[in-house]
A and B are shown apart, each in its own frame.
Chain A
Amino acid sequence: MTTLRPFTCNDLFKFNNVNLDPLTETYGLSFYTHYLAHWPEYFQVAESPSGEIMGYIMGKAEGQGENWHGHITALTVSPNYRRLGLAAMLIEFLEKVSEKKQAYFVDLFVRVSNKVAIKMYQQLGYIVYRTVLEYYNGNPDEDAFDMRKALSRDIKKKSVIPLTHPVRPEEID
């Protein structure tokens, strides 16, 4: 049980119980403010009854023509609030916003090693659309799955026909 509300600048000072988790990256300030300035409706936070930040989602809408889609940039839930279905709730919200914007699909990138997340996305209706080779920098670099879910505007579900070949990061549009 949660309150879902738009992320505000003040949340940047108290999102530590989420961001100190090693799986969550803390970016430079301008990364957050850029999203807040450009896609404020896509940046939502889940708050507990006591006012603690439980998790948040960041996203955007982009692409031309039939590639017009919603994108999940970051999704994170505090270790204290996992297994409560929060991620599903946040994604559902982002999908709703994308529907309203008449996007064709929603997509996201995930490390191929992150089995837990991949399974969760699959349960929420996402499929692996393609593999992006060496998308994540590191030692060694890691591949990403580009996962997608079609929205109602994509009647023929053309956006979710998986590619047979992997792509390079520079080939992503």
Chain B
Amino acid sequence: MASKTRADNTVNERRLRPIYDWLDNGNNKKALQEADKVLKKQPSNQCARVLKALALLRLGKENECQTIMDKVRSEIPYEDCTLQVMSICYRERHQPDKISEVYEAAVKVDPSNEELLTHLFMSYVRLGDYKKQQQTALALYKLKPKNPYYFWAVMSVVMQAIHSDRKLAKEITLPLAERMVLKLIKEGKLEAEQEVQLYLMILELQGKSEEMLNVLSGPLASHLSSVSQHKAALLLKLKRFPEAANAYKELISENVDNWTYYQDYLLAALEFQKPEECLNFLSKIITSSEKKFRAPYLAKFELLKLTKSSQIIQNITEPIDLMCQYFSQFGEKSCVVGDLRLYLHLLTPTGKQDLIQKIEENVGVKPEGFPITVQQMQRHIHLEQLRRICGFHHPPNSDINKQKQLVERLCKLYKKGNELCPIQDRLPTDFCPADSYILLATHLLHELWCNTNDAVYLYRAMELLERGLLSSPANFYIKILLIRIYLEAGIIGAADHVFTLLDVKHIQLDSLGYLHSPLLAPLGHLSLASITLDHTTKFFIANYKDSADHLTFAYKYGSFVKIQEFVELKERLENSLHFVMTNVDKMLLELSWCNSSTSLISTLDNMDIQLIEDSVRLNSLRDNRDLEVVPGWEPFTENGQDIRMQEETRMCMLRLLTVRDLILKILAACVAPDSSSLLKRFSNELKQLDNEQIPLILQKFESEGKKNKSCRMLVPMDAVERLREAHYSEQLQTIARFAESLAQSLYPDFECIQMLRVSPCLQTIDIPEKRIPMSFKHFLLRASTCSETLAIISAICTLCATQLQPKTSQKKNKKKCNKQITSNHSLNDNVNDYSWKEIAMLLEERIQNLDSILTEFEKYQLHTGLSNDEDDLRVTIIKHGQDSLGQSCRSLKSRAQITLKLLSSLKS
């Protein structure tokens, strides 16, 4: 019997193999044919049927797939191969709950099948159903008493504790998990490091540090690595300071350069020792180690920081001298700046001046002189970076003239420095050591641009950075600043080109996407925007499918410490603010690209926009941007504000997301059953945001009447610029008022048409001045807003007008019943038609204006203001710029033409 089944299986496998192969190769059509061939001979073969369903699914035939799946499911399949394919199907259809259901049914048929139970367990892991995980793991352990199954159950209990309220966890769930582990310890069955780690995790979650220490000192510790480190941390936590200090001293002696050991040593030691004793210990480490390690030196600063307010240390050298000493020891290493930066606040303003002066002497480059070796140049660069951090590049220390001189000086230093390390002497993958001079110069040029509004500084920076990139193609810091400078000038095409040089992919699309993709459409590159937004959403969607796999692996390998981490990673990606924003931008872009009411309605239908519940879960959204990657040496702010304004820019992103989501909802509401009340609600919300919250957040980026205070390149510009544009162009207000008026009367009233007539968001601003260097950012932002708003208003009109049509015809059918009403209606219809026509004409006129302005702008000759001797690069920059501006014009014009087409149907 058994041999017969096996023979059957082999026959079955041989027949099905080609279907699997075609599916793996992505040839779903062939897979379908092959499946049909098998099914001709064996129409009831379950595995072949679900393989056919999978092929159909991948061919986009969801309904046919569903029919087959439902039929097979009703037969309660329990064969592994069938169930596996069904799982794939359900996963691809985002129905992980169905996987659990089919395995539940199968397990009922064959309750002693270990494999089926394991799959069932993993299906609950995908769902995050911790309670059922626990039950299934215990059932598995009962069937086969293997340790991993037992600890799956324990971990499932821990996950219940982590995701339940604290009281319940503390009183019931965690003690249960602990008892479960203790039971196995008593039986002497603990065998793996991960199991002991899980035990420690359970104790830690309960705050049982004492017990943890016991475990680490007992026999179970033999399973663990880095025990002494763990012990030291616990001693510190338990406030057993002398023991902790000794433990850390021990650790330091084994690993002289591990920074955390010093930090924790000082925390412990200062609780019972005099600072002098700590200082002695550190000095001893320095004198006794053969190599020059940075950690003990830096620990002296840490000691000063920790004791700053409480007591004065006897016999310690001034911090300035210590810092000078540090610089003279490690001045060549680029980490020296970051290290000292942490402790510069220990110095007074004059102290900083003294420090800089002393370091200047140490470096030995005269004010007009140049470094003569690469080492000296590195020290000099670090000095210049420290000078910037100490505020020497900023007012009041440097006014505009001084900043200009400084730029010239840095450029000369770069030129000479580049000669010290010619490109042929370097690995192409190494940075040119002189690059930092141009990064510093770029920051200054950017400030000059912000403070004078003279775009020549932007072109100067482009030239510098492009030149730098030629000699140092691996330097991604140059690329990041170059992207920013091109964006400031409105030359989005060039920014995009540099962004591709960064080769950003996978998770970087989330953490670095903010550098350029949100501005592609607002600066006019619509098709590029569409491709980029698509690419980004694909990463997130693919990850959404895979993210549960990580979790199942963690259980499989018993890496319990990583499980909660994976759950958090999943949440972080699914709730990525950048992802949600990308999605909304993508949908609005698609909707603004429809040329008929049919395509508008079908596009909307495909989007499945949620009108009732809040589609954007604002509170749970995560800001995954990596802002630290932009290089900068900004001075400290007085009140400890974040110089990168992460929180403020995040708020801008949130507001922008909310208002753009509302615009999306307004569009969807036009065709919804209770359109009037929905339009009213959404327009009110939009109005309120535009009147109240948005001005408040924008204020944080303004100062002294200037709308653009953030002259720091470190502050991300995307959301701020876009929100500012949406607000000041009155785009939000215009759309809100338009929707509001439609909510009241089902057709646009006189007042509303008047409002459209004067609204600045439907008109371009002046073409930038000719024959001088200019930034095109504001011109393009407005042109894009104008084209987008025209498309959206036209779409709203078209949708509302088409909604009215069927109603009118219905009413016409009732003509016989009530003549009077009918006549009233036709009167209304006429007024209606008239106002739609009037609006259509107004919008058409605006589109024609936009078109002619853009046509004129296409002839614009770009000027860089750079002198002739930088000829080669000037040509490249002009070419990039000209191409990009041309592309923006063409792209915006073609959207205008599409909108025009949409309007023609409204007129008739």
Residues of A within 8 A of B (CB): 1-5, 8-10, 12-14, 16-17, 19-23, 26-30, 33-34, 36-38, 40-41, 48-50, 52, 54, 79-81, 83-84, 89, 97, 100, 116
CA distance A16 to B480 in the complex (A): 12
* Extra inter-chain contacts (16) besides given A20-B476, A33-B553, CB under 8 Å: A1-B259, A1-B339, A2-B257, A3-B258, A9-B562, A9-B572, A14-B628, A16-B629, A36-B566, A37-B550, A37-B554, A37-B557, A49-B338, A52-B628, A84-B333, A100-B225
In the assembled complex, B239 has its CB within 8 A of some CB on chain A? no
A-side contacts of B844, CB under 8 Å:
none
B-side contacts of A1, CB under 8 Å:
257-259, 293-295, 298, 339
A30 contact from B339, B550, B561, B565, Cβ within 8 A: B550
Task: Assess whether A28 is in contact with B510, with CB atoms less than 8 Å apart.
Answer: no
Task: Assess whether A14 is in contact with B335, with CB atoms less than 8 Å apart.
Answer: no
Q: Mark B529-570, 1 if CB is under 8 A from A, else 0.
A: 000000000000001001001100110110101100110110
Size of interface on B: residues with Cβ below 8 Å to A: 53
A97 contact from B225, B427, B474, B506, Cβ within 8 A: B225
Q: List 15 A-B contacts (CB under 8 A).
A: A9-B566, A9-B572, A17-B628, A20-B476, A20-B502, A21-B474, A26-B508, A28-B506, A37-B550, A37-B559, A38-B553, A38-B557, A54-B335, A79-B474, A84-B335
Task: Assess whether B505 is in contact with A26, with CB atoms less than 8 Å apart.
Answer: yes
Q: Mark B590-625, 1 if CB is under 8 A from A, else 0.
A: 000000000000000000000000000000000010
CA distance A12 to B569 in the complex (A): 9
- Nearest 5 CB-CB pairs, A to B? A1-B295, A37-B553, A33-B550, A9-B569, A20-B476
Task: Assess whether B511 is in contact with A14, with CB atoms less than 8 Å apart.
Answer: yes
A22 contact from B258, B474, B556, Cβ within 8 A: B474
Chain A residue at minimum C-beta to C-beta distance from B256: A1
A-side contacts of B852, CB under 8 Å:
none
CA distance A27 to B543 in the complex (A): 13
In the assembled complex, B342 has its CB within 8 A of some CB on chain A? yes
CA distance A48 to B45 in the complex (A): 60
B-side contacts of A21, CB under 8 Å:
429, 474, 476
Do A12 and B507 contact each other (CB < 8 Å), given the known contacts A40-B561, A80-B335? yes
B-side contacts of A5, CB under 8 Å:
260
Chain A residue at minimum C-beta to C-beta distance from B225: A100
B-side contacts of A22, CB under 8 Å:
429, 474, 503
CA distance A34 to B551 in the complex (A): 10
CA distance A109 to B503 in the complex (A): 24
Task: Assess whether B338 is in contact with A33, with CB atoms less than 8 Å apart.
Answer: no
Residues of B within 8 A of A (CB): 225, 257-260, 293-295, 298, 333-335, 338-339, 341-342, 427, 429-431, 474-476, 502-508, 510-512, 543, 546, 549-550, 553-554, 556-557, 559, 561-562, 565-566, 568-569, 572, 624, 626, 628-629
Rounded to whole Å, the gap between the CB of A41 and the closest CB of chain B is: 7
Task: Assess whether A23 is in contact with B508, with CB atoms less than 8 Å apart.
Answer: no
Task: Assess whether A27 is in contact with B506, with CB atoms less than 8 Å apart.
Answer: yes
Task: Assess whether B259 is in contact with A2, with CB atoms less than 8 Å apart.
Answer: yes
Task: Assess whether A41 is in contact with B225, with CB atoms less than 8 Å apart.
Answer: yes
CA distance A47 to B887 in the complex (A): 44
CA distance A18 to B259 in the complex (A): 20
Chain B residue at minimum C-beta to C-beta distance from A79: B431
CA distance A41 to B224 in the complex (A): 11
CA distance A173 to B565 in the complex (A): 33
CA distance A1 to B293 in the complex (A): 7
Task: Assess whether B338 is in contact with A30, with CB atoms less than 8 Å apart.
Answer: no
A-side contacts of B338, CB under 8 Å:
48-50, 52
Rounded to whole Å, the gap between the CB of B398 and the closest CB of chain A is: 25
Rounded to whole Å, the gap between the CB of B479 and the closest CB of chain A is: 8
CA distance A19 to B429 in the complex (A): 13
CA distance A29 to B293 in the complex (A): 36
CA distance A10 to B549 in the complex (A): 18
Chain B residue at minimum C-beta to C-beta distance from A97: B225
Task: Assess whether A17 is in contact with B629, with CB atoms less than 8 Å apart.
Answer: yes
Chain B residue at minimum C-beta to C-beta distance from A37: B553
CA distance A72 to B851 in the complex (A): 59
B566 contact from A3, A33, A38, A97, Cβ within 8 A: A33
B507 contact from A3, A26, A34, A49, Cβ within 8 A: A26
B-side contacts of A116, CB under 8 Å:
427
B-side contacts of A97, CB under 8 Å:
225
CA distance A52 to B559 in the complex (A): 26
Do A16 and B511 contact each other (CB < 8 Å), given the known contacts A9-B566, A30-B550? yes
Chain A residue at minimum C-beta to C-beta distance from B291: A85
CA distance A78 to B855 in the complex (A): 47
Task: Assess whether B566 is in contact with A2, with CB atoms less than 8 Å apart.
Answer: no
A-side contacts of B546, CB under 8 Å:
29-30
Chain A residue at minimum C-beta to C-beta distance from B294: A1
B-side contacts of A30, CB under 8 Å:
546, 549-550
B-side contacts of A54, CB under 8 Å:
335
Do A19 and B474 contact each other (CB < 8 Å), given the known contacts A1-B259, A13-B624, A48-B335? no
Task: Assess whether B553 is in contact with A19, with CB atoms less than 8 Å apart.
Answer: no
Rounded to whole Å, the gap between the CB of B304 and the closest CB of chain A is: 14
Task: Assess whether A29 is in contact with B295, with CB atoms less than 8 Å apart.
Answer: no
A-side contacts of B293, CB under 8 Å:
1
Do A19 and B566 contact each other (CB < 8 Å), given the known contacts A36-B559, A52-B338, A84-B333? no
A-side contacts of B508, CB under 8 Å:
16, 19, 26
B-side contacts of A26, CB under 8 Å:
503, 505-508
CA distance A153 to B293 in the complex (A): 31
Rounded to whole Å, the gap between the CB of A99 and the closest CB of chain B is: 10
Rounded to whole Å, the gap between the CB of B867 and the closest CB of chain A is: 32
Task: Assess whether A34 is in contact with B553, with CB atoms less than 8 Å apart.
Answer: yes
CA distance A163 to B294 in the complex (A): 41
CA distance A9 to B550 in the complex (A): 11
> Considering residues A23, A28, A83, which has the most beta carbons from chain B within 10 angstroms of its beta carbon?
A28
Do A29 and B557 contact each other (CB < 8 Å), given the known contacts A16-B626, A37-B550, A49-B342? no
CA distance A37 to B557 in the complex (A): 7
Task: Assess whether A79 is in contact with B430, with CB atoms less than 8 Å apart.
Answer: yes
Do A49 and B339 contact each other (CB < 8 Å), given the known contacts A2-B259, A9-B565, A30-B550? yes
Rounded to whole Å, the gap between the CB of B645 and the closest CB of chain A is: 18
Rounded to whole Å, the gap between the CB of B125 and the closest CB of chain A is: 12
B-side contacts of A36, CB under 8 Å:
550, 554, 559, 562, 565-566
Rounded to whole Å, the gap between the CB of A117 and the closest CB of chain B is: 11
> Considering residues B335, B341, B554, B626, which has the most beta carbons from chain A within 10 angstroms of its beta carbon?
B335
Task: Assess whether B427 is in contact with A50, with CB atoms less than 8 Å apart.
Answer: no
Chain B residue at minimum C-beta to C-beta distance from A22: B474
A-side contacts of B510, CB under 8 Å:
13
> Considering residues A14, A17, A49, A50, which has the most beta carbons from chain B within 10 angstroms of its beta carbon?
A49
B-side contacts of A19, CB under 8 Å:
508
CA distance A2 to B561 in the complex (A): 23
B-side contacts of A3, CB under 8 Å:
258-260
Task: Assess whether B566 is in contact with A50, with CB atoms less than 8 Å apart.
Answer: no
CA distance A20 to B483 in the complex (A): 15
Chain B residue at minimum C-beta to C-beta distance from A96: B225
Task: Assess whether A49 is in contact with B259, with CB atoms less than 8 Å apart.
Answer: yes
A-side contacts of B568, CB under 8 Å:
9-10
A81 contact from B334, B512, B543, Cβ within 8 A: B334
A-side contacts of B566, CB under 8 Å:
9, 33, 36-37
Chain B residue at minimum C-beta to C-beta distance from A34: B553
> Considering residues A14, A22, A33, A116, which has the most beta carbons from chain B within 10 angstroms of its beta carbon?
A33
Do A40 and B260 contact each other (CB < 8 Å), given the known contacts A16-B512, A22-B474, A26-B508? no
Rounded to whole Å, the gap between the CB of B302 and the closest CB of chain A is: 9
A-side contacts of B430, CB under 8 Å:
79
Task: Assess whether A23 is in contact with B429, with CB atoms less than 8 Å apart.
Answer: yes
Chain A residue at minimum C-beta to C-beta distance from B546: A30
Task: Assess whether A8 is in contact with B565, with CB atoms less than 8 Å apart.
Answer: yes
Task: Assess whether B334 is in contact with A80, with CB atoms less than 8 Å apart.
Answer: yes
Task: Assess whether A40 is in contact with B334, with CB atoms less than 8 Å apart.
Answer: no
CA distance A38 to B561 in the complex (A): 11
A13 contact from B298, B565, B626, Cβ within 8 A: B626
CA distance A149 to B569 in the complex (A): 36
